[in-house]
Structure 1
Amino acid sequence: MSSAPPPTAPRADILVRAARTEDVPGMLQVSNSSQEWLIAQGLASAKEQPPITPDRMGWFTKKAEQDADWDTNTGRIFVAEIGNLVVGWCMATLAWPPHLPDTDLSQLYLSAIYVHQEYMKQGVARALIGFLKTEAGMQHVELIRAECKRIDKLVQYHEAWGFTPVEYTGFAPDYEEKMQLFHMDLRPEDERD
């Protein structure tokens, strides 16, 4: 695998904040644009998924309305906007899916991150990750976990955002063939193993 692209400093005009109901149409556009990008990268399974239509966004609307803090383990959604235009979004939770191996560290799981194709390589994802790191610090989280399909560019992006690929030790069959697990250790250097 080739090395990660050089880090892109976020544009100064990117604002990251908690999602609101009125962000859902913009999130829909970002999601569909990201799906087009995945198809262009050769991810066959992305072709099988229908575009996300407004009627399928009800769940996101409900989440944007109800999750204003980290008191639930159902996750929170954050958007990145430039000039009131949603250009990226992510979802994270203090819980994690059961197929991931247990860890003793307090953690935040990045379950989704999307950037509109027209705003890629402008630091949108880096701004979202930076926001999550701040949120994680306020929640005394020691580790941010993420995973992605084993597509070279996706793996490289995660590495460029500060994630380290780690070996999968869970029970999901064929995980290592299809997916890459990442950790971002937020503990001070002298407290790490």
Structure 2
Amino acid sequence: MKEQKHLLYKDVPSPVGLIRAIASDKGLVAIIWEGEDYKRTKLSEPVKDENHPILMQTEQQLNEYFDNKRTSFEIPFDFEGTEFQMRVWEALLKIPYGVTKTYGELAKILGGIKAVRAVGGALNKNPISIVVPCHRVVGASGQLVGFAGGLNNKSILLELEQGFRMPSLF
């Protein structure tokens, strides 16, 4: 049985609602959306810590990102996933700020168009939203699809990065 990590969290207000940054002593483990449970990321319950250095660094860099003063993050990660999930998440980190890729384009990079469903599954399990930018992956025709934080928040993040705004979804 795998030993559970000691996890700490800090809630960070943002334009996409309150987000919860979760870290271990090694690095950032997850960013959880307001109202989201921990089932998607399979994490143990974290303990609140407003002053943990990695969480403070994460909050500062997220604030800079939302203020249009940061286009990439320099935060240590403590990812856990399958080998394929890790490859997908590493590929996400290579998508430049303000650029989108389709699921198919990402699948081709990772071994072939037939991997498109597996890529989608790995994106769904991405524990570190925003910082590991799964919001930059769109459907084949450019439409916004599949995002743990909701399509409205995906639209807000893309608008922030490229001035793009989807018509109201509601």
* TM-score normalised over the length of structure 2: 0.28
RCO higher in structure (CA 8 A, sep ≥6): 1
Larger radius of gyration: 1
